[in-house]
Amino acid sequence: MPESYDVLFASSNIHKYEEAEKILAEFGIKLSFFQTELVEIQDDSLSKIALQKVENAYEKCKKPVIVEDDGLFIDSLSGFPGPYSSYIFNTIGNNGILKLIGDNRDAQFVAIIAFCDSSNEPTLFESSVAGKISKNIQDGGWGYDPIFIPEKQNKTYAELADKNKLSHRYESLKKFASWFNNKQE
Ligand code: ITT
């Protein structure tokens, strides 16, 4: 870990960190990657999963730390894969999702940022972006990027040059940044 940073980002997923690092730099917050496998409980609430993850992350690093828990909620599948998005991506993947989905392709991508340091109880910041699941898998990106089209766009996250300006991650990190910067004043 570099000497100088404001907050650690604990995750096993470098893509999440790389996007978060760029987004928070815009708000003057310097992030550093704490690559680690966190305890991830199975629960139908993303908030509970994020809380458990950040408590586990803080125990490991004892430094100001954020974690992020994301879920893709598909309307025609009653919100599936939701809190199971990571497991489902690693098992049936984007192909499997396209086989399961019904006529209604509406979906929401939800991001919860959880922050913890020595003086605070964990604090959560949630945002979601509505969108649609594409008919085909597009090239590029990572995770569900090749199949998620955010609202008001006609391209998937994988094809959008400005994903970081409109993603679920951007919206929740913006809330975190405003809170964190106020706290520092
Ligand atoms: P950590 O829990 O270690 O942080 P993870 O990859 O397991 O990493 P999540 O449980 O938060 O992260 O993510 C749920 C799934 O959603 C996972 O398969 C991610 O790859 C995917 N995902 C999250 N954000 C995404 C994004 O911006 N674009 C595409 N896929 C995304």
Burial class (CB in 10 A: 0-12, 13-18, 19+), 151: exposed
Q: Is 163 in the pocket of ligand 1 (CB under 6 A)?
A: no
Q: Tell me which DSSP letter residue 72 carries.
A: E
Of 91, 94, 95, 144, the residue with max ligand 1 atoms within 8 A of its CB, to mutate for a pocket test, comes to: 144
| Distance between Cα 39 and ligand 1 center (Å) | 14
User: Shortest CA distance to 46 belongs to which of 110, 104, 2, 119?
Assistant: 110
The ligand 1 atom nearest the CA atom of 89: 18
Are residues 65 and 54 in contact, defined by beta-carbon separation less than 8 angstroms? yes
Of 16, 84, 148, the residue with max ligand 1 atoms within 8 A of its CB, to mutate for a pocket test, comes to: 16
Question: What's the residue count for the chain?
Answer: 185
Domain boundaries, the chain: 7-184
Q: What tens digit of pLDDT does each residue of 117-163 get?
A: 998 789 999 999 999 999 999 999 999 999 999 999 999 999 999 99
Q: What tens digit of pLDDT does each residue of 83-129 get?
A: 999 999 999 999 999 999 989 999 999 999 999 999 878 999 999 99
Q: What percent of the chain has pLDDT over 90?
A: 91
Question: CB count, 10 Å around CB of 89?
Answer: 17
Beta bridge pairs of residue 129? 109
| Distance between Cα 114 and ligand 1 center (Å) | 14
pTM of the model: 0.95
Q: Which residues contact 137 (CB under 8 A, 6 or more apart)?
A: 94, 95, 98, 146, 147
Beta bridge pairs of residue 132? 106, 149
- Catalytic sites, residue numbers: 69
Q: Kindly indicate whether the domain formed by 7-184 is annotated with CATH number 3.90.950.10.
A: yes
Atom 20 of ligand 1, residue of closest alpha carbon: 143
User: Shortest CA distance to 39 belongs to which of 79, 10, 18?
Assistant: 10
DSSP letter string, 81-133:
EETTHHHHHHHTHHHHHHHH--S--EEEEEEEEEEE-TTS--EEEEEEEEEEE
Mean per-residue pLDDT, 36-59 = 93
CA–CA distance from 141 to each of 38, 87, 88, 90, 152 (Å)? 23, 18, 17, 16, 19
Residue 41 confidence class, pLDDT cut points 50, 70, 90: confident
